[in-house]
């Protein structure tokens, strides 16, 4: 009975890890989508002499170099977030693999 309880506890841990992994993947996809939009915006900013920025419900003309700088900063921030999420993903995948191995070893001992 004790071995089964331990194995069940580890299986529950695996499920929790997988839920965390799923949430991270969803968050990463959202950031990647935002990053694509920003990269597209940077391409368009390069082509124009006039630029507009949406603030609340209105569109305001803005300085092109300032907008470009702001957009590049957002791009870098998103890249850092994506890198961080990818590192977290790897750690969780390792935890899942290790815990699965422990469960398999526990089951083999039976």
In a domain, 109, yes or no: no
Residue with tokens 């170099």: 65
In a domain, 48, yes or no: yes
Q: What is the pLDDT of residues 23-75, one digit of tens each?
A: 999 999 999 999 999 999 999 999 989 988 888 999 999 999 999 999 999 99
Tokens of 21: 């992994």
Q: Is the pLDDT of residue 97 over 90?
A: yes
pLDDT of residue 2: 63
- Four-CA torsion 39, 40, 46, 49, nearest 10 degrees: -130
In a domain, 29, yes or no: yes
Per the structure, the count of domains in the chain is 1
pLDDT of residue 81: 98
Range of the domain at 73: 2-104
Residue 46: give its domain's CATH number: 1.10.287.370
pLDDT of residue 109: 73
Phi, psi for 57 (deg, rounded to 5): -100, 5
In a domain, 13, yes or no: yes
């Amino acid at each position: 009975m004790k071995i089964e309880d331990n194995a069940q506890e580890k299986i529950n841990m695996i499920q929790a890890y997988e839920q965390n992994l799923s949430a991270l993947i969803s968050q990463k996809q959202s950031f990647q989508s935002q990053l694509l939009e920003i990269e597209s915006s940077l391409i368009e900013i390069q082509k124009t002499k006039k630029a507009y920025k949406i603030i609340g419900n209105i569109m305001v003309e803005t300085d092109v170099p300032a907008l470009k700088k702001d957009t590049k900063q957002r791009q870098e921030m998103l890249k850092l977030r994506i890198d961080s999420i990818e590192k977290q993903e790897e750690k969780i995948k390792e935890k899942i693999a290790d815990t699965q191995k422990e469960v398999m070893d526990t089951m083999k001992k039976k």
